[in-house]
Structure 1
Amino acid sequence: MSIEDRIGPYRILRLIRRGGQGSIFLGFDDRLDRRIVAKLYTLPADPARSKQVLQEAQLVAGLDSPRVVKIYDVIVGDTHLAMIMEYVPGCDLEQLLGCCDLSLASILVVAGDVAAAIALARQQRIVHGDLKPGNVLVTTDGRVKLTDFGIAQAQGSPDSGRGSLSCLSPEQLQGRPLDVRSDLFALGCLLFRMLAGHHPFLRNGVVDPAALLREAPALPATLADGTPLPAALSDLVCELLAVDPERRPQNTHEVRQRLHEIASGLPRTLYRPLAEEARPAFREETADELPLQIPGSLRHQGRSRMPLRPGQWSLFGFGRHWRRRQWLAAAAVSAGMLAALLVWLWPTSYRVHVPQPQIVIEAGATLPEGRDTAWLLGQVRDQALQVEPGLVFSGELPPFRSRILDRSLATLRQPPAPEQLRIVLHCQQAWCVLGLERERATWRRYRQALLLASAPATHWQQLIGLTLAELFAADG
């Protein structure tokens, strides 16, 4: 096994996904015979900031609850940090909500377990700050675990803009210090989406940050299956989504108690409905995700003890039953396969056209010094090429316009680029929303980043890079 297949003592089996906050791998701990998940983070170049990230990771690793994904280890290298976590079979809430509508009983199970996880974090003075459906894991036994505290921060610290737009609170948008009420606002967004089928502040298919500063819309009177929505639950969601943190519940104890009272009014069941409802969304467990259980003495020290027959030879004990011509033929086949693999893995060019960006800067709003639109578009180009080195851009503005004037007949006959990358920038006084959309003939994919005017340029660069990594994570 090559050194690239390990992170410290942990064997890596496959890539699970590349997300906005880092790559996630499935691995195996040979020492304890269990699967693990390794999430990689790029460490900041600034030593002080890098030390802060490590301290955050160690703080999160101290959380211990059945409602929180357990952190087993923190591995640190020169440029990256890996958090080694327990593997949770099942699915996440984002996958589940895309598959089916939940019953009221299941919704209350999810909300109660998430509230319990927030309560534990509050005891350690930790604000999760990124409480979105993708970070809520539904287990095969019908319970919930909260994950991805990797971007958590100490309670009372000012927000750094690292959370997702789907769980952003008004105080995060305004750059104010955060506490448990910010996570409770995100819990209100989760509840609203489970009950109504959409995010409360969705506008034209995307979350509108400006809408966070206005009153949330009312919930429907019934769920999708016709179940009447309890008035007590509607009132709780309305309070959780209050713009002013002082108008929200002030602690998790009150929220959990009210959820328990609402659940107590439902008909009693002898089974866990969430496990049955989520089963179609559970990811399939395959044999490829479990290492073969070969005894260590055979795997590492096993050698053939059969005597060589005439015409046979071996190299360091390997290939004892192969003749010389078989070795030469195998070497030739291996060389051919290696050459084919290198050709397949070699990055190929892919043409992308960038139309004229849509840039709206409201009256009174100015971009921070040194960060004009040319700088921003240049960052989009450079970060995209880091994610996909084979991209070949064409466009109307200099960052994407080809630097080589080629008017050959073959070039002029080329069909239009198969993909477009649309860029939208909307700036108000305290923040800018950068929207990036990949569009092909049959599909579209959209991602957006919230850029706070008070954040340093390096933070803007990091958010643009993470957004592009999500945008190009996989073909649609």
Structure 2
Amino acid sequence: MDVVALEKTDVYQGRYRVERTLGAGGMGVVYLAEDVKLGRKVAIKQLRSDMTGNSAEARFRSEAQLLARLNHPNIVRLYDVLEEDHNIALVMELVEGVTLKEWMREHNATLAEKLDLLMQICQGLGKAHCLGIIHRDLKPENILVTNDGVAKITDFGIAKALDCDQQLTREDHIAGSVQAMSPEQLQGAPLDARSDLFSLGSIAYELLCGYKPFERGDKSALAFAQQITSKPHIPPQHAWPEIPKPLAALLDRLLAKRPEQRPESAERVFEALELVRKHGIDRNTLQYSETVTQLLIKPRKKRRLIGSTLAILTIVGAFVFWGWKTLTYLPSQYIAILPTQINGVVQGGDMEILMRTMVRQALSSAPSQLKSSALVSYTPEKNVSYEEQLRKLQNKGVTDALLARLDCMQLRCNIELQRIKPSDSEIRQQASFVFLSDKIQEAQYTISNSAVRLFSKNYRKKPNASSKMDPEDYSRYLVVLSKTDSDQIVGPADLKVLEELIGKYPANTNLYSSYTKVVLKIWGATNDSQLLTKTLGILTSAEGMGADKTALLEAKLAIKSVSQDRQGFESILAKIEAQGHPSAHLLTQFARHQYIHGDYKQSLAFSKEATALNPSFNNYYYIVINELALANYDSARKILKKMINMYPERWKAHNILGVIELETGNLDSAENVLTSIPEALRDPITKSNLGTVYFLQGKYELALQVYLEILNSTPNNLRMITQTAETYLMLSNVESAQTHFQKVINLTENSTFLKDRQFRAEALAYLSMTPASIALIKDLLREAPESTYVKHTAAQVYALAEEWQSANYHLEDLISKGMTKEWFTLPAFQQLCLQPQTSQVVRESICH
């Protein structure tokens, strides 16, 4: 039995004759059919043929099992289950009517009719809850209203029985529609019946007030989810100025962020609505009378329990919600670490370097132990006074600075910690103690915990448990950590050290954070997606080992931000945001995620918003690379000059400046900028850019030497493989070029990354797979219409396909943005010089 068969009029299983299709959803198709045996119309909901699989089938079977337990006039009934092979269909009650969403749009209903519908929904929902079933996707589209005005809840596809442990959704994916979810459901927390009551509150708000409780506008699903989890709903009085206090209070209670603030059951909501429906409507005006509030405050004896509940709703409800939010609100703290000052002599060769690394790590871990707090990346300029540093921090939006001063004499060090407000340079809190330099591991935990105690108790979380390492292991850890805190190159050997330490000390939170930093550094140079998968596995394994859960979530978010799993990223981001993390921190992560996926305009907007809140090096960096991707070279140069003045030894800024000079044809300037970076600090990206300079200068042998050197250490680096193939073409070594292009195709077969698919489109074109190449480049142009990189690839693809007009179109656009002739030396581009369709602008710009 498949979809095609169901559309025929044959009688199936001797009983059901399908007449026509009623509609289709994400998983199923619904048909109108006749039950020949009983002579009645039914609706058959069948699993779509392209959705067959264990998860989809499990959801359908789960819905059938739950509906079989539900026999209530306000829930759509299940009559039968049809199965054949892997096909499954549910035979259900046919509801002749419309969805509540359509009903609200098409009916000018009285208040009494609206309350009647809400009471019916409460009754159906109450029946499900009594049987331990939560719906999880309650919304107007999943409530049917018959022509006689009866409300029926439907679509229990993702409903869950509280006594079952259903695994119907994968990790980091939250089932349901965002607009129908409670805050705890969006955060992936355990659910109970009160989650459905939040969804019921959204329905009631829209039905009664004519508006949704949260403004969606043009917000993304992620931004909308964040609003539901962290922002208050629109006060009902704003949407319906005449709404009486008891009903407004009821809506406020239903839409409370925390489950315990909502009514205890659907039955209690029904009783409240029933009381209002019977006694609170003036039948002539259909408006609430002034007696409603008095009735709720002083109820009749038989309504004592209901009255008490509604009196609380009326008098205390709004205060509990708004007052709780006000009393527990913690202003965001942006914390910077000032350079550690060491006076005297520390015994040991590299001991002073390790001491500085230890102190910085201890202070840097403090914000993770504070609520609503984030660490601000800060590297001071050389020869800048202490006062000037604080002024710059204030301009960066930093609210607190932590400073450590050490006075050491051989093995003994006295440390003084200060919490300073950059706005007035005053010391708000300070602490001091003595430690021995050969006991620096113990000192790290003491420093970290002492730094946390410099802040108000309201901000402090439960202290992290210490996970002590052997002294030799701790020294190895500090050596790796000192690399991640600087521009030194890290590699697989550093990861191996951290993996070994994680195996020995699985509860040590700092090890996971450091491991993530090293992975991201390596990934930036190699694009090794397997490394990301491995890291996520390590972080997931750590969840039951005693490591700090918030720190693990932050590490996961950092990895997800550069991965292909957009749903997983948004899920973790929502969980972190719900914990009160400062918005600048989250905006930076989101900007990085959008950039990785090629949405440069969106990434630029988030980067600018993050920089306005926290003008750190990283936030400026994301502005620059997005401006660069959009060919806004002047804007990028202006910001880079500012960054280099502020951070003269942050070589990443020099590297990007070299790229700008390279892309605008200033090859000698590009070479000077890139070679100004110390050779020992040139990562694969810097070397790659230098190789591109040699390529554009026509020094193909030198460029090939650079590319092959990089490939020797990162053999799956797609950019390097592609650029190596292009270099072989310029050296007339077609066979080697084709070998490298084939490797690109093999490595990108299942990738969803925009850049990976860009390399794939070029490789397909060079291997004469023209239809596939053109189809892919069209998709990329739709996804990233402003990207100069995609347009450059598109011009190349169309030239190889001999679609000269399309190639000419993209070349003209690139030339207008300032791309010079050096970028068009490949044979594919030079073919245009021989074509009559090529414009004069292109001829003058690219033809020798």
Which TM-score tier does this pair reach, normalised by the shorter chain?
0.5 to 0.7
Q: 1: distance between equivalents of 2:102 and 2:272?
A: 27
Q: 2:66 aligns with which of 44, 47, 59?
A: 59
Q: Match for residue 119 of structure 1? A: 126
Counterpart AA for 1:219: P
Q: 2:17 aligns with which of 5, 11, 16?
A: 11
Give yes or no for contact 1:131–1:186 (8 Å, CA) kept in 2. yes
SS in 1 for 2:23: strand
Q: Do structure 1's residue 169 and structure 2's residue 182 form an aligned pair?
A: yes
Q: Match for residue 779 of structure 2? A: 395
Instruction: Check 1:73–1:129 CA distance in 2 against 1; reply closer, same or farther (3 A cut).
Output: same
Cα shift at 1:176: 1.3
Q: Match for residue 245 of structure 1? A: 259
SS in 1 for 2:66: helix
**Which has the larger share of helix?**
2
Counterpart AA for 2:235: A
Q: 2: distance between equivalents of 1:2 and 1:19?
A: 19
Q: Do structure 1's residue 256 and structure 2's residue 273 form an aligned pair?
A: no
Residue ranges of structure 2 left out of the alignment (5+ in a row): 285-553, 567-596, 598-749, 758-774, 785-789, 810-848
SS in 2 for 1:38: strand
Superposition map of 1:152-231 within 5 A: 152-155=159-162, 160=169, 161-205=174-218, 208-214=224-230, 215-220=232-237, 223=240, 228-231=242-245
SS in 2 for 1:115: helix
Cα shift at 1:370: 6.0
Instruction: Check 1:409–1:15 CA distance in 2 against 1; reply closer, same or farther (3 A cut).
Output: farther
Instruction: Check 1:19–1:104 CA distance in 2 against 1; reply closer, same or farther (3 A cut).
Output: same
Q: 2: distance between equivalents of 1:90 and 1:247?
A: 35
What TM-score do you get using the length of structure 1 for normalisation? 0.57
Q: 1:130 aligns with which of 113, 116, 137?
A: 137
Cα shift at 1:197: 2.0
Counterpart AA for 2:560: L
Q: Match for residue 336 of structure 1? A: none
Give yes or no for contact 1:23–1:39 (8 Å, CA) kept in 2. yes
Q: Match for residue 357 of structure 1? A: none
Cα shift at 1:61: 2.2
Q: Match for residue 350 of structure 2? A: none
Give yes or no for contact 2:99–2:144 (8 Å, CA) kept in 1. yes
Cα shift at 1:177: 1.6
Cα shift at 1:155: 2.1
Cα shift at 1:148: 0.9
Counterpart AA for 1:173: L
Give yes or no for contact 2:137–2:180 (8 Å, CA) kept in 1. yes
Superposition map of 1:343-358 within 5 A: none
Q: 2:26 aligns with which of 16, 20, 28?
A: 20
What does the per-residue CA deviation read over 1:335-367, in whole Å, with 9 as the maximum and x for residues that have no partner? xxxxxxxxxxxxxxxxxxxxxxxxxxx995442
Q: Do structure 1's residue 102 and structure 2's residue 109 form an aligned pair?
A: yes
Instruction: Check 1:144–1:216 CA distance in 2 against 1; reply closer, same or farther (3 A cut).
Output: same
Q: Match for residue 151 of structure 1? A: 158
Q: 1: distance between equivalents of 2:35 and 2:808?
A: 55
Counterpart AA for 2:30: I
Cα shift at 1:174: 1.1
Instruction: Check 1:68–1:376 CA distance in 2 against 1; reply closer, same or farther (3 A cut).
Output: farther
What does the per-residue CA deviation read over 1:359-401, in whole Å, with 9 as the maximum and x for residues that have no partner? xxx99544286637484569xx9xxxxxxxxxx6723369998
> Between Structure 1 and Structure 2, how many residues are aligned?
310
What TM-score do you get using the length of structure 2 for normalisation? 0.33
What does the per-residue CA deviation read over 1:251-289, in whole Å, with 9 as the maximum and x for residues that have no partner? 12211110101101245879xxxxxxxxxxxxxxxxxxx
SS in 2 for 1:84: strand
Cα shift at 1:198: 2.2
Q: 1: distance between equivalents of 2:126 and 2:191?
A: 15
Q: 1: distance between equivalents of 2:270 and 2:121?
A: 10
What does the per-residue CA deviation read over 1:430-449, in whole Å, with 9 as the maximum and x for residues that have no partner? xxxxxxxxxxxxxxxxxxxx
Cα shift at 1:99: 2.6
Q: 2:100 aligns with which of 84, 93, 97?
A: 93
Q: Do structure 1's residue 235 and structure 2's residue 249 form an aligned pair?
A: yes
Instruction: Check 1:49–1:12 CA distance in 2 against 1; reply closer, same or farther (3 A cut).
Output: closer
Superposition map of 1:298-377 within 5 A: 364-367=557-560, 371=565, 373=597, 375-376=751-752
Instruction: Check 1:398–1:179 CA distance in 2 against 1; reply closer, same or farther (3 A cut).
Output: same
Q: 2: distance between equivalents of 1:110 and 1:205?
A: 30
Q: Which has the larger radius of gyration?
A: 2
Give yes or no for contact 1:166–1:199 (8 Å, CA) kept in 2. no
SS in 1 for 2:106: coil
Cα shift at 1:105: 1.1
Give yes or no for contact 1:105–1:266 (8 Å, CA) kept in 2. no
Cα shift at 1:79: 3.1
Give yes or no for contact 1:181–1:248 (8 Å, CA) kept in 2. yes
Give yes or no for contact 2:59–2:157 (8 Å, CA) kept in 1. no
Q: 1: distance between equivalents of 2:31 and 2:65?
A: 20
Q: 1: distance between equivalents of 2:808 and 2:266?
A: 64
**Which has the larger share of strand?**
1
Q: 2: distance between equivalents of 1:187 and 1:116?
A: 12
Q: 2: distance between equivalents of 1:243 and 1:165?
A: 15
Residue ranges of structure 1 left out of the alignment (5+ in a row): 271-361, 382-391, 415-476
Q: 2: distance between equivalents of 1:253 and 1:182?
A: 14
Q: 2: distance between equivalents of 1:56 and 1:38?
A: 13
Instruction: Check 1:56–1:146 CA distance in 2 against 1; reply closer, same or farther (3 A cut).
Output: closer
Q: Match for residue 669 of structure 2? A: none
CA RMSD of aligned residues (A): 3.8
Give yes or no for contact 1:42–1:81 (8 Å, CA) kept in 2. no
Instruction: Check 1:65–1:376 CA distance in 2 against 1; reply closer, same or farther (3 A cut).
Output: farther
Instruction: Check 1:52–1:69 CA distance in 2 against 1; reply closer, same or farther (3 A cut).
Output: closer
Cα shift at 1:78: 3.0
Counterpart AA for 1:140: N
Give yes or no for contact 1:58–1:74 (8 Å, CA) kept in 2. no
Give yes or no for contact 2:57–2:88 (8 Å, CA) kept in 1. no
Give yes or no for contact 2:7–2:21 (8 Å, CA) kept in 1. no
Cα shift at 1:140: 1.1
SS in 2 for 1:66: coil
Counterpart AA for 2:258: D
Give yes or no for contact 2:23–2:29 (8 Å, CA) kept in 1. yes
Instruction: Check 1:3–1:221 CA distance in 2 against 1; reply closer, same or farther (3 A cut).
Output: closer
Cα shift at 1:42: 5.1
SS in 2 for 1:121: helix
Q: What percentage of residue pairs aligned between the two structures are identical?
A: 31
